[in-house]
Structure formats: structure tokens, C-alpha cells
Amino acid sequence: MIYTASPFAIGIFVAFVLAVLVLSSYFAKKTQSSKGYYAAGGTIHWAVNGIAFAGDYLSAASFLGICGMIAFDGYDGFLYSIGYLAGWVVALFVVAEPLKRFGKYTFTDALNYKFNSKGIMLTAAISTLVVSVCYLIPQMVGAGDLVTPLLGLPHYMGVVLVGVIVIFIVATAGMTSTTYVQFIKGGLLIVLSTVLTIGILNKGISTQPYEGYHQFKSIATTLTNEEVSAVSDSSYTIAGAFKDKSNHFVKLQKDGVATWWQVATTDGNTVLKEALSMTKTADGKTLYNGEPKEAKKFFQVGHVSKLIVDGKEVDETGAMGPFEFLATVDKAEIVRFAKVAIKDGHDKVTIWKQNPTSGKDIMRPGLKFKVDKGATFMSRLNFLSLMLALFLGTAALPHILIRYYTVPSPKDARKSTIVAIGSIGFFYILTLFMGLGAMTTGVLDMESTNMSAPLLAKYFGVTLFSCICALAFATVLGTVSGLIVAASGAVAHDLMSGFLGIEMTDKGQVKAGKIAAVVVGCIAIILGILCKGMNVSFLVGLAFAVAASANLPAITMLLFWKKTTSKGIAASIVVGIITSLGIILLSPSTYADVYKLPSTQAPIPLDNPGIISIPLGYLTLIVVSLLTQKKEKGAAA
Amino acid sequence: MSHGPSTQWEEDKASDYKSKLGMKMFIFYVLVYAGFIIINLVNPKAMGLIVFAGVNLACVYGFGLIILAIIMGLVYNYKCTRKENELNK
């Protein structure tokens, strides 16, 4: 899709970045000690820390990813909101206070508080690095995606820009500036999402989303031997066709422009329905609906085809309350677009065909995660596994865990978690309205699910669009900053000082942390550029699954099982990392999305590893701990 | 390098109470969350039933899980703070 940079948007973006840099420089003067660098001196107020938690947690995946998934797949995207929020219950009731009580700068400290084991230092640091990098890549990729519409810059420039700013933030003032950036961003995100939701409810739903919305044509056709032999509109000529078990398309030519049409039968009559297409020609050109990008023929889509209010079919609803909005979508029929990839000679064609879907199907699980129609045992197991990983992953994410060390006491850790649950929960409720709003307002860019929320904001004017884009960029900045602090702590504090035993002064620890932040930041820039186009949700899911499998068994068993040994913890972390990564790398989704191979060739028929790797982590910890009881007791004596 | 806590504080006599209360509330929430998953797996059509103000069970249950987490968090904090004030005088 074509995006045009707006000077106003650039102005807001530049103002925000300057504010962040000034804030970091201000805090840099106050950050001289390692406690100041890694844990903001442990002096952050619980309310500020709570909103900063929200800033850390509501990453690009939450704001851009969930809204986009709801806009494309309905309620199934909202399952992520439910699972991500439920995960905070584990954080509050199980890990918040003990982690604060036993830790210092990193969650490795908490795991190791009674063992002082080199094995735990090494494995927990590796786990922190693996999870942080898995989480960093999608943020950097997301930054590149956002910079294109906002500033008109290429993808790699966005990645470099985020990398440089974040390295500056982290290397100057560490956790203090990161906390305040997250606080501002978290607060603004909730305020602007509320404004957007009020806009959606105030506007209501209409079958004609806006003036100039593309009207999709239908052409009567004649079939001979199940092939299209003639069309009723004589200005079109048949230029090709594609047919397989589930799809039948025809390529029509008009004024030298080729477009793709879906062959569909309605009420016994066969018609051609206009589709969207992107063609990558053999000579390297990319055509959108048969024309170059500049012709702007790749329309924004998503509309309601049938709207029912009080039992009558209407064209628009007017302003609605939140429950009325959801009830109206439930009774409506919405035109979604299904993606189909085909080959046309030497050209690769992606077609998005119209897929009218009942509101009843949109408003409950099943469009993306098969639990009803077409469900199999494996699809149900995948659903169960995803919900398990989302629930258990939150309390094991390193950049979330380190935020418990920025407040003065366990009581403050608890209170800040409750502020986080309230603000994040409120935001996640809004995601359903923003996602459904984007689905029905004709703003969707079929090439990028991630742009659904910013494009919905654009519908309400360039000011809101600019603010939302700058905020989404800030979302990336804040989350990446937190991840880099966590990763630099793992390298400098856990590996260099703890595992390798390198003696460092307090200032030396800060210097090591800053150097580690620069190195991790540079690696993140390189990976962000290399991973352009990779599936963002896939990588975030990977981070959650690895965190839940590697870290959570160690944290919870240490707190609640007295027989836990250091070797049991180290072994469970290793098994958790290897099994979760192994299952993901051999899963059908990875085969299809990453290796570009048929998903049927995947050796493991499961996409979400949690259902296997999390219990395996617990089992490993129990077995190894029982086997090493005498040894560790002997050593302790 | 020291791996002690970042800030020193006095012994928390309410620690056991908070831990037990946290575990009970966690188990309660797990049961409600499990109910949501089980309905989806066993009787997914039930999620489409209209249960409140024209809104289906999927939305009401989903919002309910989010709001329940917030309410339980507030109750937990209230009970913990009261116990801390009582025992850590």
C-alpha cells in the first residue's frame, strides 16, 4: 500500500524523540551506581512503576498485533488479550513479592539467592538473552514497518533509528530513563486508545464506511464445462484462469490492465466477484490490481454487507454504546478478505478474495483457531497450548521481572502490579472495539495486519493518526529499552560478574552494563534488518513459550517446593529452552512461514509448544532435584 | 558480587498469610480461566449464545476474566495491607 508522509506527523515524531533524549540526558547525571543503572535505585513510586509495567508489556505485539489480528480474524485475536492479561494473575499472586524479596538486579539473583550456583547463573542468563532476543526482533521489525507510513523512510532506516535512540536511552541512564519513557508511553497509549474507541462508538457502523470507499463489482458469467467461457460486460476479456480444490479465479483484461476475479455461485447464478491482487512478475516488478504502486489501486477494505438493527436491515446505525456495538456486530454480515497464493505462468500472484462472514462467527473463537467447524484433535491441542503459554509466560518474561527491583519494597511491588493489571486490563478491553472498528470501517491494508490500528486512527484525522503512529513508535522504543536493560544485566551482572567471577568496582559494573547494552543494541539492529517481513506474532509467541517453559518452573518450584536443588533449576531451564525452541522450529507454522516449505512436512504437528515443554520443565526440575538431594545437602553441610 | 536484595527492609510477619492467600486466589482464577478454555474445547457453540444485553458468552466471559483479575487484585491488596498493618506494627 502507498503511504504518504505528513509534515505534521513528522513534527510530532521529532518532538517525541527529542523529549525522550532530553529526559535520558537529565537522568544520566543521576545514574552513577550499578543500583541506579540496573534498578533505577529502587526508588520509583509504585504508581509510576505500575504504568511503566503497562508500557513494558503493551509492546508493538499488543497494540499493533492484537488490534490487527482482531481486525482480520475477529474474536480469536481477543483471545490474546484475555491470555496476556490473565498472565498477570500469576505475576501478582505468585511471584511479585517473593521475587522482590529475594532478588537484586536480575531474576537470576532471585533464583540463586540461596544457592549461589554457577550453573543457575549461566543457564538463567542464557534464558534471559534468548527470550530478550526473541522479543527484540519483532519490536525492531515493527519499528521498520511504522517508519514507512510515518516518515516515508525505508524499513531498514526505521530499524537503525530505533536502535540508535534506544542505545542512547539505555547507555546513558539505564533503568531510570527507561522507566520514565515507559510511564509516559503507557499512559499516552491508554488515553489515545480510549479516544479512538470513543470515536468508533460515536461514529457507529455503516454499510458505506466513507465517501470514496471502493465499490467491489460483480459480473455475470457463463460457465462451459465448469470453465468461464464468457462475461456479461463486453469491455473485459478473459486473459487466464486458476482452479484448484477450493479456489476458482479468472484473470480479466480491460484497457491493458489485468485484474483477478473470484468465480462464485450465489442463488444458483454464477458471478465473478472482484478481488484484490498483488503480482510479482518474472522481471521483478510488483503490480497492485494490475497496476504499479503509484496508481493507488490497492484499496483499503473491510465493510459490513448486512446491517440489522431492531430486526430491520439498515444502512447505518448512528452512535452506539459499547454493548450495543458488540451486539450489532454479532447480528451483521461483514466482508473479510481471504488470502490465496497462486502461480500465473512465471508470475507469483497473491489474491485476496471476498469472504462474507457472519457476525456470529466473528464474535466467538473459531476463525483462526479451529475449535469448532473443521476442528481436529491437534487444532484443539494447539488452542489449549496457546492459552497455557499466554497464561504462564507473562510472569517469566525477564524485562517484566526486572521491574520488580525498581520499587522500594515488596509491598510496592504488589501495588505496582495491581496498577499494571488495572491499566493493561482496561487497554485490552479496548482492543476488541479498536479491532472490530478497523474491520468494519474500510481501513484495512491487506498487506499489513499490523497497520490496522494506525489506519483506523487515520480515518479520524491526520492528528490522531500522527499521534498514534508516534506513540506506536514510542511503544517500540520503550519495550526495546526494557529488553536491552534486561539483556545487558544478564551479560554484565550474571555472566561477567557472577559466572566468570570478574571482579568489578561499582562504576565498572555500570560501564560493563553500558557496553553490553551497545553490543546487544547493535545485534538487535542487524537482526531487525535481516528479519524484515517475518511474522511478528510468531516471534512473540516464541518468546512467551520459551519464557514459560524455561523460567516459570524454576521460579515457582523454588518458591513452593523445599526439595528444589540448584542442579534441578539449571536442568529445567536448559530442557525448557531446548524443547520449546525445538518444537517451534519443527512446527507446521515455522515450516510454512519461515522455511517456505509445505506445513505437512513438519515433523511435529504442533505450533504452540507450551503443552509439552512447560510440563517437561517441571518434570525435569522434580526428577533432577530428587536425584541431587544428598549431594547438595552434603555440600551445604 | 553480592546477590542480596536491592533494598533492605524489616522482617515481614504477614509473609505466610499473603503467600497462602495469593495461592488460594490464584487457584480460584485458574478454575475460572480453565472453565473458559473447557467451554471452547467441549462446547464451542455455547460461546455464541447471547447472555447479556445482546452480547454473547464469549465476550461476556472474556471481559469477565479481565475484570475479575482487576477486582481480585484490589481485594488481595486490601487484605494484604490490612494484615501487614496488623502484624508488622
pLDDT at A63 (0 to 100): 78
A312 within a domain of the structure (yes/no)? no
B7 reaches A (C-beta below 8 A): yes
Instruction: Note whether residue A621 is domain-resident.
Output: yes
Q: B66 lies in a domain?
A: yes
Put simply, whether A404 touches B (Cβ < 8 Å) is no
How do residues A253-283 score in pLDDT, each as one tens digit?
998 899 999 998 877 788 999 999 999 998 8
**Tens digits of per-residue pLDDT, A167-209?**
877 776 667 777 777 788 888 889 999 999 999 999 999 999 9
Q: Considering the domain boundaries, does residue A351 fall inside one? A: no
- Specify which of A154-158, A535-539, B6-10 reaches the highest per-range mean pLDDT: A154-158
**Which residues 15-74 of chain A have a CB within 8 Å of chain B?**
35, 39, 42
Q: Give the pLDDT band of residue B1 (cuts 50, 70, 90).
A: very low
Lowest mean pLDDT: which of A88-92, A492-496, A628-632?
A628-632
Chain B contact for A152 (CB, 8 A cutoff): no
Question: Which of A35, A323, A383 is nearest residue B41 as measured by Cβ atoms?
Answer: A383
Domain presence at residue B33: yes
Task: Judge: A365–B58 Cβ closer than 8 Å, yes or no.
Answer: yes
Q: How confident is the model at residue B5 (pLDDT cuts 50, 70, 90)?
A: very low
Residue B65 counted as domain residue: yes
Pull the grid cell for residue A524. Answer: 538487535
Nearest chain B residue to A328 by CA distance is B54
Range of the domain at A608: 44-205+377-636
Binned at pLDDT 50, 70 and 90, residue A165 comes out as confident
Q: How far is A325 from chain B (nearest CA, A)?
A: 9
Contact A92 B47 (CB under 8 A): no
Q: Is A35 or A564 the better-scoring residue by pLDDT?
A: A564
Let me know if residue A193 belongs to a domain. yes
**Closest approach of B41 to chain A, Cα-based (Å):** 6
Best CA proximity match to A465, nearest among A477, A456, A474: A456
**Candidates A42, A90, A422; nearest CB to B26:** A90
**Residue A280 located in a structural domain:** no
B74, part of any domain: yes
In a domain, B1, yes or no: no
- Residue A3 binned pLDDT confidence (cut-offs 50, 70, 90): low
Which residue would you say has higher pLDDT here, A170 or A118? Answer: A118
Q: In the prediction, which pLDDT does A621 show?
A: 95
| Domain at A128, CATH number | 1.20.1730.10
Q: How many domains does chain A have?
A: 1
Helix residue ranges, H only, A366-505: 377-393, 398-401, 410-440, 452-459, 462-489
Contact state of B47 with A364 under an 8 Å Cβ cutoff: yes
Q: How confident is the model at residue B6 (pLDDT cuts 50, 70, 90)?
A: very low
Question: How do residues A608-633 score in pLDDT, each as one tens digit?
Answer: 888 999 999 999 999 999 999 876 66
- pLDDT value for A275: 93
Cross-strand pairs, A353: A338
For A:303-362, CB contacts with B below 8 A are 323-324, 326-327, 330, 360
Residue A334 within a domain: no
* Enclosing domain of residue B57: 15-87
Count the domains in chain B. Answer: 1
Q: Is the Cα torsion angle A548, B43, B59, A94 positive or negative in sign?
A: negative
Residues in chain A with CB shorter than 8 Å from the CB of B19 are 98
Q: Is A8 among the domain residues?
A: no
Task: Answer yes or no: is A98 within a domain.
Answer: yes
Asked if B41's CB is within 8 angstroms of A380's CB, the reply is yes
Cβ of A429 within 8 Å of Cβ of B66? The answer is: yes
pLDDT (0 to 100) of residue A308:
93
- Who among A109, A360, A409 is closest to B48 (CB)? A360
Confidence tier at A31 by pLDDT (50, 70, 90): low
Report the percent of chain A where pLDDT is more than 90: 29
| Residues recorded for chain A | 637
Contact B40 A383 (CB under 8 A): yes
Nearest-CB residue to B26 (from A89, A363, A428): A89
- Asked which of A143-157, A201-215, A359-373 is least confident by mean pLDDT, the reply is A143-157
Residues of A in Cβ contact (< 8 Å) with B7: 42, 408-409
Q: Chain B partners of A410 at a C-beta cutoff of 8 Å?
A: 9, 12
CB pairs below 8 Å between A and B: how many? 152
B84 interfaces chain A, CB cutoff of 8 Å: yes
* pLDDT classification of A39: cutoffs 50, 70, 90: low
* Nearest-neighbour CA in chain B from A379: distance (Å): 10
Average pLDDT, chain A: 84
Task: Show the cell assigned to A51.
Answer: 504504568
Buried b / exposed e over A547-579, threshold 16 CB at 10 Å, is: bbbbbbbbbbbbbeeeebbbbbbbbbbbbbbeb
How far B31 CA sits from the closest chain A CA (Å)? 12
From A263, A253, A254, select the one nearest A222 (Cα to Cα).
A263
- To 10 degrees, the CA torsion angle through A512, A518, A523, A526? -170
pTM of the predicted model, to two decimals? 0.87
Which stretch of A104-113, A340-349, A618-627 has the lowest confidence by average pLDDT?
A104-113
DSSP A345: T
Task: Report yes or no: A493 at the B interface, CB cutoff 8 Å.
Answer: yes
**pLDDT band at residue A570 using 50, 70 and 90 as cut-offs:** very high
B33 and chain A in contact, CB less than 8 A = yes
User: For residue range B17-69, what is the model confidence (pLDDT) as tens digits?
Assistant: 988 999 999 999 999 999 999 999 998 899 999 999 899 999 999 999 999 99
Rg over alpha carbons for chain A, rounded to the nearest Å, is 26
Q: Say if residues A484 and A166 touch (Cβ distance below 8 Å).
A: yes
ipTM: 0.89
Q: How far is A496 from chain B (nearest CA, A)?
A: 10
pLDDT band at A1 (very low <50, low <70, confident <90, very high): low
**Which cell numbers hold the place of A160?**
537503525
Tell me whether residue B59 is in a domain: yes
**Separation in Å, CA A518 to CA A365, A508, A591:** 43, 15, 33
Res. A4: pLDDT tops 70? no
- Chain A CB contacts of B66 below 8 Å: 81-82, 85, 425, 428-429
> Does any domain span residue B5?
no
Q: Judge whether B8 lies within some domain.
A: no
**Grid coordinates standing for A150?**
510515518
Q: Strand pairing of A333-344 and A347-358? A: antiparallel
Q: Please tell me which residue of chain A has the smallest CA distance to B8.
A: A409
